[in-house]
Amino acid sequence: MKPILRILAAGTLGITLGALSCVKNTSPAGPFSLPPTTPANYLSQWGTIGTGNGQFENPEGIAVNSSGTTVYVVDGSNNKIQAFDNSGLFLNQWGGYGTGNGLFGYNVMGIAVNNAGSTVYVTDQGNHRVQAFSGTGVYLGQWGSMGNGNGQFTYPSGIAVNSSGTTVYVADSLNGRIEAFDGVGNYLSQWGTIGGGNGQFYSPQGIAVNNTGTTVYVVDSSAERVEAFDGSGAYLTQWGAYGSGNGKFYSPQGIAVNEAVTAVYVVDSGNNRVQVFDGSGNYLAQWGIFGSWDGMFKRPAFIAADFSGNLYVTDRGNNRVEKFGPFP
């Protein structure tokens, strides 16, 4: 009896032999399953694993200039910064492994760019410092050394700059605090100690500041929460707890503020999703599940928002950047 090959759906083959029908799914999601629904706000992606231009090994921090024309990505394990246009076209890169000016130690982590687009700040975690570059990667300066004194760091993580460019906030991860500097690295102030109380941190990671500079949001990853402060470090509120339900977290990391829709986006890394809150921490929505299809994540790390409301997420386990439209 001659078998009849039928195409049933994208990624699915059907074979009919007499009265017997067999279905084989050829998609990478696994046998006998169809691709999941792509999130409605998914737009595009770029990147594969590797060391070449436009490739990544464990992408971490991400930032977008104020005009939305350039996206900067920390290529963590390749010890470099890569710059792209907002469609993912490679523009340039800089860095390399080392301790000299413009080089990075292991675990390059956070990145931020001022509104003028003139300065890109990078937390060089392995060298316990912040380095500053022009928008095209020219080395400008640095500050910090290993320690717990004013202006020192122990594995700094997230970094953010206010809209006027006058204050740079750095999450000093293992010292359990936030340090504030002016735009060229002069120490201004700090807040936080190690602990689980209001205004304390176990492991501050992502940090973001709203457009008016009145609220600074900090992801305390090991405490599974987000804390909010005013621009001088006075405690305002917090939200989150360990879990997988709405508004709960499992190893959250990155955070961004989208002024266009007054939303705070938190990368809930362990739950492979992005959760959305209002500025006071009220849960609004979420998207993402574990996987490699469009709009899915494997250990997502950081997030950035442009002034049009578009969102860029470093999908660390898939070695790519995913771009989403405004949400919700």
d(CA 49, CA 70): 21
pTM for this entry: 0.89
Coil, strand or helix: which one is 10?
coil
Residue type, position 308, single letter: S
Contacts of 161 (CB under 8 A, 6+ apart): 112, 113, 114, 115, 119, 121, 167, 168, 169, 183, 209
Q: Give the tens place of pLDDT for each residue, 249-292.
A: 999 999 999 977 789 999 999 999 999 999 999 999 999 999 99
pLDDT of residue 26: 37
Q: Give the tens place of pLDDT for each residue, 288-318.
A: 999 999 999 999 999 999 989 999 999 999 9
pLDDT of residue 36: 75
Number of residues assigned to the chain: 328
| Beta carbons of 178 and 169 less than 8 angstroms apart | yes
| Residue bearing tokens 């090994």 | 57
Helix, strand, coil % in the chain, rounded to nearest 5: 5, 50, 45
pLDDT of residue 259: 78
- Cβ-in-10-Å burial (0-12, 13-18, 19+) of 53 comes to exposed
Phi-psi region of 49 (alpha: psi -120 to 50; beta: other; left: phi over 0): beta
pLDDT of residue 120: 98
d(CA 61, CA 206): 9
Q: How do strand 42-46 and strand 108-113 relate by DSSP bridges?
A: unpaired
pLDDT of residue 230: 97
Residue 135 phi/psi, 5-degree rounding, is -65, -15
Q: Other C-beta atoms within 10 Å of 56: how many?
A: 28
- Token duo for residue 303: 């997030």
- How would you label 213-223 residue by residue, b for 16+ Cβ within 10 Å and e otherwise? bebbbbbbbbb
pLDDT of residue 34: 60
Contacts of 192 (CB under 8 A, 6+ apart): 176, 177, 178, 199, 200, 201, 204, 233
Coil, strand or helix: which one is 271?
helix
| Residue bearing tokens 């996206």 | 71
| pLDDT by 10s per residue, the chain, length 328 | 444 434 334 444 443 333 333 333 434 444 445 667 788 899 999 999 999 999 999 999 999 999 999 999 999 999 999 999 999 999 999 999 999 999 999 889 999 999 999 999 999 999 999 999 999 999 999 999 999 999 999 999 999 999 999 999 999 999 999 999 999 999 999 999 999 999 999 999 999 999 999 999 999 999 999 999 999 999 999 999 999 999 999 999 999 999 777 899 999 999 999 999 999 999 999 999 999 999 999 999 999 999 899 999 999 999 999 999 998 7
pLDDT of residue 6: 40
